[in-house]
């Protein structure tokens, strides 16, 4: 859905995403980093049980809420860091 | 770290940066809090780290942020990034969360510069993965250098929609269609606003360039579309609408929606600021005087949060609030305040000349008849438009009562995403005006924070604060 512009050279960081070590671009928010790799689903809505993706990217909509280092946080407001533990709890849903 | 400041500024966008720099330059002790990792607000997001290519693409309107931030960095204002303000009161107390610790500080004056957000407008499927705000795509470009990679549809109304379209065109993004809900012909009222706007040829030239870029690209561009909907299962597949009486459909991976910009008012509502409704632009804003002072003596509203007028006006309004606070703190006499304010007021006036024209052309449609019953209105609690209509039919007349009955607005976003449309729906259903159905009550914490964080908070102020004997003599 998104690609990184050629002139950006953000070094990758290694995080634990949903239990697996994953390399993601650094120097941006967790939400942006996941979107840049095509991982668009941020959470399963507890109310509708349907997948959600970040909508506002400015801390308003809460569609990007995920567990980051043990605390539920807005992924668009948190900078991705080496070693972060990120859990989206997507259950059996598959991402394409 | 000391916890008393002459003035605390919430928000480091153009308004907050200008206000803070000016107050610090006047010699005040200033604290700036912003929840973002870097200064700049929405428009100048990440401008300090922008690549030359991004600066080039976004142009002078973006680059201006560099000067503003440079001035701010040179000033003595103390800046805390990643600082989310979750409680404020008109006596000057502010609680904020930073690196998972909360702290309370006290300030003689509070300048609220929390800006604006895109107007959330519930169309069917707007909660599907793959549907985003046009401003969100703009943020991703600035913050992370991301460009949409699949087929994109842009839909809605407003100058920022066309700005985003022209930026994406220049980047070579594949755009399937631009679907504007704006009427084909502007209302006759527009004419009155045309004359003052003509005095700002620079502004009109910018607008025309944008329109020309879109025209030249040959991209399908419909106006006056209705029945906009996003279709898909687990993610967006297609965007549909009715244009010129016919249903049109476009396969797309990304739908960028934009329906104008409205003030972010949560902090004002939390502090009990008197709010007024702008019937033409259909949004609430805090009532304030020409310096930005709200009904609370020491609380100032500035920037787009006090009424949407764009980045330059935000900067000027920040300066004006700063001058008045400098005066109240006894640093400059009133004649110096007025003298310094005079050129700023002139710039504010000139900047605003084309605004009524733009506002009129893109004025949002009144009412809520076009919202469909099945559409999810409150994402957090999965409440539909139909659920709200049903509650109103059963006799509920105020948005806060609707909230209790339906849970609409009860989730973590505290009604930020559903509040404006909720009021429209309740008002339309009850056959009354939006002003009559109330505003959702806002409670601390403004954003959810772990309970433990509140429990561990340093409360250093308590009862030992000094009485302010001169408070009433400072006017
Ligand atoms: C998504 C988006 C994109 C935009 N893009 C453009 C554009 O490309 N070009 C253009 O001309 N205009 C754009 N605009 C309009 C432009 O943002 C405004 O005109 C201008 O930024 C207003 O400046 P401001 O200082 O009032 O507020 P803002 O620039 O919005 O700054 C407000 C700041 O307050 C902070 N804040 C808010 N609440 C809290 C809190 N509780 N605690 C701590 N900090 C908080 C925010 O993080 C933000 O940094 C955009 C608007 C939006 C919503
Ligand atoms: S994307 Fe809206 S809060 Fe993060």
Nearest ligand to the C-alpha atom of residue B37: 1
Name the CATH topology of A12-87: Ubiquitin-like (UB roll) (3.10.20)
pLDDT at A93: 75
pLDDT at A91: 84
For the entire predicted model, the pTM comes to 0.95
pLDDT at B18: 98
Query: Could you tell me if the CB of A59 is within 6 A of ligand 2?
Result: yes
Task: Tell me which architecture the domain covering B4-117+262-332 has in CATH.
Answer: 3-Layer(bba) Sandwich (3.50)
The reply to whether B376-437 shares the fold of B4-117+262-332 is no
What are the sequence ranges of the domains in chain B? Answer: 4-117+262-332, 120-259, 376-437
- Separation of CA B12 and ligand 1 centre (Å): 9
**Does the B376-437 domain belong in CATH 1.20.1290.10?**
no
Q: Please give the CATH number for the structural domain made up of B120-259.
A: 3.50.50.60
A positions 33-72 inside 8 Å of B (CB): 33, 35-36, 40-41, 45, 47-48, 50-63, 65, 71-72
Residues of B with Cβ-Cβ distance to A59 under 8 angstroms: 35, 447
B positions 124-153 inside 8 Å of A (CB): 127, 129-133, 135-136, 139-141, 143-150
pLDDT at B474: 47
pLDDT at B466: 47
pLDDT at B472: 47
Tell me which residues of chain B have a pLDDT lower than 70.
1, 368, 459-475
CB contact under 8 A, A1 and B149: yes
Residues of B with Cβ-Cβ distance to A7 under 8 angstroms: 51-54, 145
Tell me which residues of chain A have a pLDDT lower than 50.
96
B positions 393-422 inside 8 Å of A (CB): 411-413, 416-417
Question: Residue by residue, what is the 3-state secondary structure of chain B?
Answer: CCCEEEEEEECCCHHHHHHHHHHHHCCCCEEEECCCCCCCCCCCCCHHHCCHHHHHHHCHHHHHHHHHHHHHHHCCCEEECCCEEEEECCCCEEEEEECCEEEEEEEEEEEECCCEEECCCCCCCCCCCCEEEHHHHHHHHHHHCEEECCCEEEEEECHHHHHHHHHHHHCCCCEEEEEECCCCCCCCCHHHHHHHHHCCHHHHHHHHHHHHHHHHHCCCEECCCEEEEEEECCCEEEEEEEECCEEEEEECCEEEEEECEEECCHHHHHCCCCEEEECCCCEEEECCCCCCECCCCCEEECHHHHCCCHHHHHHHHHHHHHHHHHHHCCCCCHHHHHHHHHHHHHHHHHHHCCHHHHHHHCCCCCCCCCCCCCCEEECCCCEEHHHHHHHHHCCCCCHHHHHHHHCCCCCCCCCCCCHHHHHHHHHHHCCCCHHHHCCCCCCCCCCCCCHHHHHCCECCCCCCCCCCCCHHHCC
pLDDT at B96: 97
pLDDT at B297: 97
């Amino acid at each position: 859905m998104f690609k990184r512009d050629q002139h950006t050279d953000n070094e990758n960081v290694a995080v634990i995403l949903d239990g697996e070590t994953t390399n993601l671009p650094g120097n941006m928010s967790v939400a942006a980093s996941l979107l840049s790799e095509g991982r668009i689903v941020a959470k399963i809505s507890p109310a509708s049980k349907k997948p959600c993706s970040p909508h506002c990217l400015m801390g308003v909509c809460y569609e990007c809420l995920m567990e980051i280092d043990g605390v539920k946080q807005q992924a668009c407001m948190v900078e991705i860091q080496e070693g972060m533990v990120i859990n989206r709890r997507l259950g059996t849903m598959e991402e394409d | 770290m000391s916890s008393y400041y002459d003035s605390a500024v919430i928000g480091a966008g153009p308004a907050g940066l200008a206000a803070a720099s000016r107050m610090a330059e006047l010699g005040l002790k200033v604290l700036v809090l912003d929840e973002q990792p870097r200064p700049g607000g929405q428009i100048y997001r990440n401008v300090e780290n922008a690549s030359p290519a991004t600066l080039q693409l976004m142009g002078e309107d973006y680059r201006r942020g560099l000067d503003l931030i440079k001035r701010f960095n040179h000033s003595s204002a103390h800046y805390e990034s990643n600082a989310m303000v979750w409680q404020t009161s008109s006596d000057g107390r502010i609680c904020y969360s930073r690196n998972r610790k909360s702290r309370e500080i006290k300030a003689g004056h509070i300048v609220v510069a929390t800006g604006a957000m895109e107007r959330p407008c519930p169309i069917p499927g707007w909660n599907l993965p793959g549907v985003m705000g046009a401003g969100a795509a703009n943020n991703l470009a600035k913050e992370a250098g991301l460009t949409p990679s699949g087929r994109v549809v842009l839909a809605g109304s407003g100058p920022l929609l066309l700005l985003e379209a022209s930026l994406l065109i220049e980047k070579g993004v594949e755009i399937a269609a631009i679907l504007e809900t704006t009427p084909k012909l502007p209302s006759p009222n527009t004419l009155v606003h045309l004359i003052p706007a003509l005095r700002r040829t620079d502004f009109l030239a910018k607008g025309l360039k944008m329109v020309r870029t879109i025209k030249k690209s040959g991209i399908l561009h419909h106006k006056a579309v209705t029945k906009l909907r996003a279709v898909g299962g687990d993610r967006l597949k297609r965007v549909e609408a009715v244009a010129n009486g016919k249903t049109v459909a476009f396969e797309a991976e990304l739908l960028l929606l934009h329906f104008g910009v409205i003030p972010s008012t949560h902090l004002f509502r939390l502090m009990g600021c008197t709010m007024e409704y702008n019937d033409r632009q259909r949004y609430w804003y805090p009532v304030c005087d020409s310096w930005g002072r709200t009904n609370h003596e020491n609380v100032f509203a500035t920037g787009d949060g006090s009424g949407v007028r764009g980045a330059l006006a935000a900067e000027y309004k920040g300066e004006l609030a700063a001058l008045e606070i400098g005066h109240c703190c006894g640093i400059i006499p009133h004649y110096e305040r007025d003298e310094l304010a005079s050129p700023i007021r002139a710039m504010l006036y000139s900047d605003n000349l084309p605004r009524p024209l733009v506002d009129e052309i893109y004025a949002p449609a009144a009412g809520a008849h076009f919202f469909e019953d099945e559409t999810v209105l409150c994402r957090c609690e999965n409440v539909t438009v139909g659920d709200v209509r049903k509650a109103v039919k059963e006799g509920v007349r105020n948005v806060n009562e609707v909230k209790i009955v339906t849970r609409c607005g009860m989730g973590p976003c505290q009604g930020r995403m559903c509040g404006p449309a909720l009021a429209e729906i309740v008002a339309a259903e009850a056959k009354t005006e939006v002003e009559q159905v109330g505003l959702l009550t806002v409670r601390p914490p403004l954003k959810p924070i772990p309970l433990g964080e509140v429990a561990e908070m340093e409360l250093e102020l308590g009862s030992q604060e000094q009485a302010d004997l001169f408070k009433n003599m400072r006017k």
